[in-house]
């Protein structure tokens, strides 16, 4: 398995919430682990609960404590800035820096999953995009495969480029068992044409992954089949959209 010309980390973001980025991030971690690479995972901020961090921990088969994988966990399933205000909490970004430095030094490859989409506010006017830029990580965008995804994906790519973020690919994910139609068949080529970013995977719905602790070997094989890791690279083409 060749990963992005020697890049040693990946930030997984999405075109919105409930798109399936946790499953995709976990599946990639499982595939990398299965290939014999020392991979770690991180969910810097979670809202509602830390189930995403638990899923990632299981996927990567690591023994790190959850408060290292997920240093900030807020009570309400809302944007972090809103959730923290409701509980009169202050988000301490230094906790993320400390946890990230610890995990980065421990693992050869680190997968970091964001919270919601790329423009979600974390603290005041500090967005997920600012966090990605601070961590200096390349990003993988997870989008849904069906109708409406062209608009959401093109906007996400354009926003990422405003922050000069390195985009290595797009994964189109089916997070339910709906019937594949013309939109699903034609969206990948159109998104590649408009953005110049490769579609590195089209992930079908798989009910075996719809639980908190899916079989690790199955998950690794499933994502290794449906994601082309060799296509993940930074494409310098800039379209005027």
The Cα–Cα gap between 169 and 33 comes to 20
- The greatest distance separating any two alpha carbons of the chain, rounded to the nearest whole angstrom, comes to 47
Residue 236's contacts (CB-CB under 8 Å, 6 or more residues apart) are: none
Q: Cβ distance 18 to 51 under 8 Å? A: no
What DSSP element (H or E) covers 110? strand 109-113
Angle (deg, nearest 10), helices 216-226 and 51-60: 90
Q: Which residues participate in catalysis according to the annotation?
A: 43
Q: What whole-number distance in Å separates Cα of residue 47 and Cα of residue 214? A: 22
Q: How far apart are the first and last CA of the chain?
A: 34
Contact 194, 154 (CB under 8 A): yes
Contact 175, 239 (CB under 8 A): no
Q: How far is CA 95 from the centre of its chain?
A: 20
Q: How far apart are CA 133 and CA 139, in angstroms?
A: 10
């Amino acid at each position: 398995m060749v990963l992005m010309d020697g890049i040693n980390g990946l930030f997984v973001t999405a075109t919105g919430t409930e798109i399936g980025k946790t499953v995709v991030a976990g599946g990639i971690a499982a595939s990398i682990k299965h290939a014999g690479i020392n991979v770690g995972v991180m969910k810097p901020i979670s809202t509602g609960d830390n189930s995403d961090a638990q899923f990632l921990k299981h996927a990567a088969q690591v023994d790190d404590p959850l408060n290292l994988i997920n240093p900030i966990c807020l009570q309400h399933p809302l944007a972090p800035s809103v959730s923290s205000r409701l509980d009169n909490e202050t988000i301490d970004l230094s906790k993320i820096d400390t946890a990230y430095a610890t995990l980065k030094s421990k693992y050869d490859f680190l997968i970091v999953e964001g919270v919601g989409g790329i423009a979600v506010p974390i603290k005041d006017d500090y967005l997920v995009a600012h966090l990605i830029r601070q961590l200096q990580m390349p990003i993988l965008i997870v989008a849904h495969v069906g109708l409406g995804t062209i608009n959401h994906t093109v906007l996400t790519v354009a926003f990422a480029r405003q922050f000069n973020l390195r985009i290595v690919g797009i994964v189109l994910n089916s997070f339910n068992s709906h019937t594949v139609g013309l939109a699903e068949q034609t969206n990948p080529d159109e998104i590649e044409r408009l953005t110049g970013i490769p579609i590195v995977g089209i992930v079908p719905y798989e009910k075996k992954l719809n639980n908190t602790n899916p079989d690790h070997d199955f998950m690794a094989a499933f994502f290794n089949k449906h994601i082309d890791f060799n296509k993940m690279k930074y494409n310098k083409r800039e379209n005027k959209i």
